[in-house]
Amino acid sequence: MPDFPWPSGSATGIGSMPGTDVAEAQRIIFGELPSLPHLAELPGRGPGSDMIGRTAGLLVEMPVQVYAGRWQIASRPGKDLRRTDDLLERDLDQLTEQGDGFTGTVKIQAAGPWTLAASLDLPIGGRMLRDLGAVRDLTDSLAEGLRRHVADVRKRLPGATVLLQLDEPSLPAVLAGHVPTESGLSAYRVVSAPAAATRLRTISEAVDAPVVIHCCAPDLPLQVVRDARAAAVSLDLSLVKDLDPLGEAIEAGLGIFVGAVPSTGPARPDAKQIAARVTTLWQRLGFPAALLPQQVVITPACGLAGATPGYAREVLKALTEAGRRISEV
């Protein structure tokens, strides 16, 4: 069994939080998720704080801009990229301040290469996904950018272990050939599972940090995640229909970040019910109870940007309590 790079009984968030106050968001995260805090993402601040813009800002020698409401590869750096860089720097400063002296595991997030390729436009029009040579160049640029990003976080929190989450909500659509072209009348060609895993593995091997691949879409390709040499997969438990691939992944030593509570809701989540839901899944899979708190991290089903601030705080608090509960089983 691998030695997982997070404490037993951990809980964490997916990344995004509601509102525009990063100092408050980061305080809440370190306060409510002491076992596995993460870098806050606040897409409510607009372009540059969204998942695609934030990640595109990390690309090396591949500047981006906003054109007609979409992120696009640009000929030179401009104001959109400067804004994106400034927002990330402010967020990292808050991570540094709130995490001063922190010696545990901290998680940072970025879009993965396939979701980025399905979302970024080429200068001539169309998504980068239309040109697999461009996808290769994009992946190499992203790998170097993320390597530098991880190194920066490590310098800011020298006592911490850095965990990198790659957000890949578009990965199932890429594999199925369901990413629509601009006209909406056709779709980009299917990408093979081995090709998808190769690009993801490029990131995993470059960043010098354990990688979690997150996908809260149906038809999550667990074999691709395993072939990418990720340390863990992050998924929405409500979308898991076939337990056999999940059991095989667990048996192979893959960590599982289980999205066990809705990302929005009217009432405070019940930690006891969350823990029971995760424990029931583990029992159905037939694995020893002692492995559950080591191999599983409890999370929301997806990001919390759409939640009320009160619900977001209560979710994180409930997740941490649920993590303690599964450790006591």
Residue 329: per-residue pLDDT: 67
Residue 185: per-residue pLDDT: 83
- For the segment 257-285, the average pLDDT, to the nearest whole number, is 94
Closest CA to 307 of 272, 266, 277: 266
Residue 328: per-residue pLDDT: 87
Domain boundaries, the chain: 1-21+234-329, 46-230
Residue 265: per-residue pLDDT: 87
pTM: 0.97
Q: How confident is the model at residue 317 (pLDDT cuts 50, 70, 90)?
A: very high
Residue 182: per-residue pLDDT: 85
3-state per-residue secondary structure call for the chain = CCCCCCCCCCECCCCECCCCCHHHHHHHHHHHCCCCCECCECHHHCCCCCHHHHHHCCCCCCCEEEECCEEEECCCCCHHHHHHHHHHHHHHHHHHHHCCCCCCEEEEEEECHHHHHCCCECCCCCEHHHCHHHHHHHHHHHHHHHHHHHHHHHHHCCCCEEEEEEECCCHHHHHHCCCECCCCCCECCCCCHHHHHHHHHHHHHHCCCCEEEEECCCCCCHHHHHHCCCCEEEEEHHHCCCHHHHHHHHHCCCEEEEEEECCCCCCCCCHHHHHHHHHHHHHHHCCCHHHHHHHEEEEECCCCCCCCHHHHHHHHHHHHHHHHHHHHC
Residue 1: per-residue pLDDT: 55
What residues does 236 pair with on adjacent strands?
A: 259
Structure tokens at 77: 């750096």
Residue 323: per-residue pLDDT: 97
pLDDT tens digits for range 211-240: 999 999 999 999 999 999 999 999 999 999
Residue 41: per-residue pLDDT: 98
Residue 184: per-residue pLDDT: 79
- For the segment 30-55, the average pLDDT, to the nearest whole number, is 97
Report residue 213: phi and psi, to 5°. Answer: -100, 120
pLDDT tens digits for range 58-75: 999 999 999 989 999 999
Q: Percent of the chain at pLDDT above 90? A: 95
User: Is-contact 110 165, C-beta < 8 A?
Assistant: yes
User: Is-contact 165 107, C-beta < 8 A?
Assistant: yes
